[in-house]
Amino acid sequence: MKISFLTPSDNLTGGTRVIATYARLLQQRGHQVTVVSNAPDRLSLRQRWLALRQGRWPRSPASPPGHIAMAGVPHHTLDRPRPIVAADLPDADVVIATWWETAVWAHRLPPAKGRRVHLIQGYEVWTGGQVRDRVHAALRLPGRKVAISDALAREIHGELGDVRIDVVPNAVDVGLFNAPQRQRNSPPTVGFIYARSPIKGSDLCARACALARQRLPGLRVLAFGVDLPSADWPLPAGAQFVHRPAQQLLPSLYARCDAWLFGSRLDSFGLPILEAMACRTPVIGVPVGAAPDLLATGGGMLLPDASPETMADALVQLCAGPAARWATMSAAAHDRAHGYSWDDATTALDALLHDAAGAIDPIAPAHVDSPVSTGAA
């Protein structure tokens, strides 16, 4: 098949990594894959004015290559932020939207660009207001819809009710994310993703570590992320931070930890949960995204709420409790995560794409407005 992906941007987020992984694996299976990304945001007029006032030439900050650029698939980025149109992509059998706005753009394409599939990676209504209405309208557009978790599909069904959604859960590269059996460290190490955003909950994780240290004085903290730590979003004292680690380094970072904290306030899946578990690290997680499903078989501890006190209590139990209990959790985490391979996920998505390519498009609904934006995938 000829397959085109439409993305709002190319970056180093988990959602973009999912797109890049599918594009690469589908290409390896013999499909002709093309990815078209919108251009990154440019400086606002205010940002340009401030730069000139300060005697600097206004320049957009340089960004490192995104996951798609490193995936080894044909990739085209627009020269400026705007909707993706027919001239930007080749004729194909299937065109896959990866964000609500790209679903609107795909809906406007002529039939020669492919049957429409919407890979839903989040219930993208965070800003509320008119955006919420546009997201709902985009989710009601004709075409096949595939969600990345049962939790996400349930959330959308709860809002829209009558939308058909298939589910292909996210997965983990079991060849890369793996680790041999090990014993719990003494003193223990806890890890989490750092981000200067309340959404990812790194402030919750940092506070939990500080509270746990009152009972585990030697507790070591390891964090990594795309953002650099700041005074507004501090890490615990003495924490080790790794900035933008290479993909090949991630398994060793996870495997150094005796517990991994997942504190996201908003997440449709939670890829770090699977990655940590695949490296035999038990996860302590809040009930968000796929955490309830992934932690149901004993590969960690699912918290009843998202308070730092509750997370700290679980951390002390895991790191100071019986070593045999930790070893059992470590083994269960590994077994659970290795049931979610990207090969299996790609096989499931491939079958859905073949089905979609042979389908007959229903009558299109009313036009959906779409202001240009480059929301994260």
Its domain, for residue 232, covers 189-337
**Is position 303 within any domain?**
yes
Residue type, 141: L
Question: 10 and 47, same structural domain?
Answer: yes
CA distance 277 to 180: 12
What pLDDT is stored for residue 256 in this prediction?
Answer: 98
**Is position 194 within any domain?**
yes
Task: Give tens-digit pLDDT for 330-347.
Answer: 999 999 999 999 999 999
Question: 315 and 346, same structural domain?
Answer: no
Question: 221 and 324, same structural domain?
Answer: yes
DSSP 3-state of 66: coil
**Is position 182 within any domain?**
no
CA distance 377 to 18: 9
What pLDDT is stored for residue 366 in this prediction?
Answer: 36
**Is position 49 within any domain?**
yes
What pLDDT is stored for residue 235 in this prediction?
Answer: 96
What pLDDT is stored for residue 64 in this prediction?
Answer: 77
Residues of the chain with pLDDT under 70: 42-63, 127-128, 359-377
Domains in the chain: how many in total? 2
Contacts of 127 (CB under 8 A, 6+ apart): none
Question: 99 and 196, same structural domain?
Answer: no
Question: 333 and 241, same structural domain?
Answer: yes
Question: 19 and 163, same structural domain?
Answer: yes
Residue 92's domain is classified under what CATH number? Answer: 3.40.50.2000
Task: Give tens-digit pLDDT for 181-212.
Answer: 999 999 999 999 999 989 899 999 999 999 99
Let me know: does 168 contact 148? Beta carbons within 8 Å.
Answer: yes
* Alpha carbon of residue 211 to chain centroid: 28
**Is position 181 within any domain?**
no
List 120's β-bridge partners, or say none.
147
Question: 167 and 18, same structural domain?
Answer: yes
Question: 46 and 77, same structural domain?
Answer: yes
**Is position 365 within any domain?**
no
**Is position 215 within any domain?**
yes
Question: 136 and 8, same structural domain?
Answer: yes
Question: 287 and 163, same structural domain?
Answer: no
The DSSP bridge pattern shows strands 94-97 and 2-7 to be: parallel
Q: Give the predicted TM-score (pTM) of the model.
A: 0.85
Question: 166 and 22, same structural domain?
Answer: yes
Question: 150 and 30, same structural domain?
Answer: yes
